[in-house]
Structure 1
Amino acid sequence: MKDPILECVRQVRDEHSKRFNYDLDAICEDYKTHQALVGKRLVRLKPRAANDGLQPAARFARGGCGSR
């Protein structure tokens, strides 16, 4: 089942990326420029904790895909 909202977001993202020939540095600079014009941060990411304490997925811990 297709989600129309996701389809729209992906279309807008692709159109924006095409404007910069899919150059990630140029895309980020555009976001920074827009952020400066707006006068507030567009994205705020919380620092992620280290993944040292994570356990492997159960199927891999058992020795393979579906094995018991």
Structure 2
Amino acid sequence: MYQDEIVEEIHRIREEYSRSFNHDLKAIFADLQKQQAEGGREVVNLSRKPSLTTRWSGRARDIGEDAKDTSRRST
């Protein structure tokens, strides 16, 4: 079976990183958050906004009680 040396290196680095935190996921997560905060890069939220989903699907329940039901249009 073919073994990619780049993939092997990534696995080795990941294992060393995990071992440095004694495989504690909370500690790893805290470290990654710290690195992200210190990195200085802008974090962008790409999650959908309910209003956009509602606009195209016609589901008013996603945007709140004040929304008008657009699925029953009068002509």
**TM-score range relative to shorter protein:** 0.5 to 0.7
1:19 aligns with 2:13: no
Higher relative contact order (CA 8 A, sep 6+): 2
Structure 1 residue 45, shift from structure 2 partner: 8.8
> Once superposed, which parts of structure 1, at least 4 consecutive aligned residues long, lie more than 3 Å away?
44-47
Number of residue-to-residue matches in the alignment = 46
- Residues 1-68 of structure 1 correspond to what in structure 2 (within 5 A)? 1-40=2-41
Quick one: structure 1 residues 6 and 40, their matched pair in 2 at CA, closer, same or farther if it must change by over 3 Å? same
The answer as to whether partners of 1:20 and 1:26 remain within 8 angstroms in 2 is yes
Name the SS for the 1:22 alignment partner: coil
- The share of aligned pairs that are identical, in percent, is 35
RMSD: 2.3
The answer as to whether partners of 1:35 and 1:41 remain within 8 angstroms in 2 is no
* Post-superposition CA distance 1:7-32 (Å, at most 9, x none): 01011100000010001111011110
Structure 1 residue 40, shift from structure 2 partner: 2.0
**Greater C-alpha radius of gyration:** 2
